[in-house]
Amino acid sequence: MPSVLITGTVLATLDDAELGALQAAGWAVQFAAQGAGATEEDLLELLRGHDAVVAGGEPYTRQVMARSPTLRHIARWGVGFDRVDLQAATELGVLVTTAQGANDWAVADHTFALMLALAHGLVENDRGVRAGIWTRTVGADVWRKTLGLVGLGRIGQGVAQRAWGFEMKVLAVEPYPDRVFVERYEIELVSLEQLLRRSDFVSLHLPTSPKTRQVINADRLALMKPTAYLINTARGSLIDEDSLYAALTEERLAGAGLDVREREPPSDDRFYGLSNVVMTSHVAGVTRETAAAMSRMCAQSILQATRGELPTGLLNPEAWETRRR
């Protein structure tokens, strides 16, 4: 009987329908709530004897996969895969899938929530009211301001659609733009430097790669208006956090909304004392609806592979013919 391990936060999201589909197909299902914080050695022990894993943010390194000979499929519960050594997985014949498209709308919603919270000082004002301080802080408009989107994929497009309702001027950096979408929403394609100089709000929607690491650094932060806000619901590695902290404390930037950090959970608390920063715990893409959708896609991809069908969301099709049997 094949066996699937379900780790971390996924524990609360696979309902009877997804479990039933896997079990009806002959899969044994095991939960490991501690998987989310697993080290490589922890993960090696957890994966022992399992054919597939519905994976959270634990590290799937070459060593982990090489020393887990029964592992055939890593189904990422989410869309990011920076914690999976994709090249090693391909070479070892391990399929890697993600729940692509299952949470785009939620991340776009969360991006706009951070933007509004920053502009209107909602978090700071809420804390003051709860402390018995009834003061009126002066916020900033979002209406008809300029929004810069660094990346115009599915999530970036979702943010652009929401900005349309606020009559915002939208700028974007995107090497492979959807021309029909760009024309429909009157988006101006510009260079990153132009976008940073002109935008009142800058929102990051890029994947992690050597080219995008710390794409927002000291030099680029210096291009932004001192009244501008930076939003990151993509990956923490996109921002040089030392430079961001300096820009915020020296009032060279109005504020930042951070759903992601370079290290998660963060290893430092320096941003905690800044009233012009709103932080959330990498939850932009997690709602009741998206959790169910991601769980369905993970279960579906495992079942498709079991039936000999190319699974939805497969990142390494090169591994399909050489996959572990």
Catalytic residue, chosen from 40, 41, 186, 264, is: 264
- Is the sign of the CA dihedral 133, 134, 138, 142 positive or negative? positive
Are 67 and 20 in contact, with CB atoms under 8 Å apart? Answer: no
The total number of residues written for the chain in this structure: 325
Q: Quick one: tokens of 39?
A: 């080290």
Instruction: Answer whether 196's CB lies under 8 Å from 178's CB.
Output: no
Report how far residue 11's alpha carbon sits from residue 119's, in angstroms, rounded to the nearest whole number. 36
50 is annotated as an active-site residue: no
Active site residue 264: yes
Bond into 266 cis (ω within 30)? no
**Residue in 72, 261, 282, 296 annotated catalytic:** 282
Q: Is 58 a catalytic residue?
A: no
Helix (H, G, I), strand (E, B) or coil at 321: coil
Q: Please choose, from the candidates 107, 49, 50, the residue with its C-alpha nearest in 3D space to the C-alpha of residue 78.
A: 107
Residue 147 bridge partners (DSSP): 170, 201
Residue 255 β-bridge partners: 229
Alpha-helical runs (H) found in 177-263: 179-184, 192-198, 218-221, 241-249
DSSP H or E stretch at residue 210: none
DSSP 180: H
Choice among 76, 198, 235, 261 that is catalytic: 235
Q: How far is CA 62 from CA 65, 74, 84, 91, 314, in A?
A: 5, 13, 9, 10, 18
Tokens of 69: 């000979």
**Helix (H, G, I), strand (E, B), or coil: what is residue 219?**
helix
Residues with a known catalytic role: 235, 264, 282
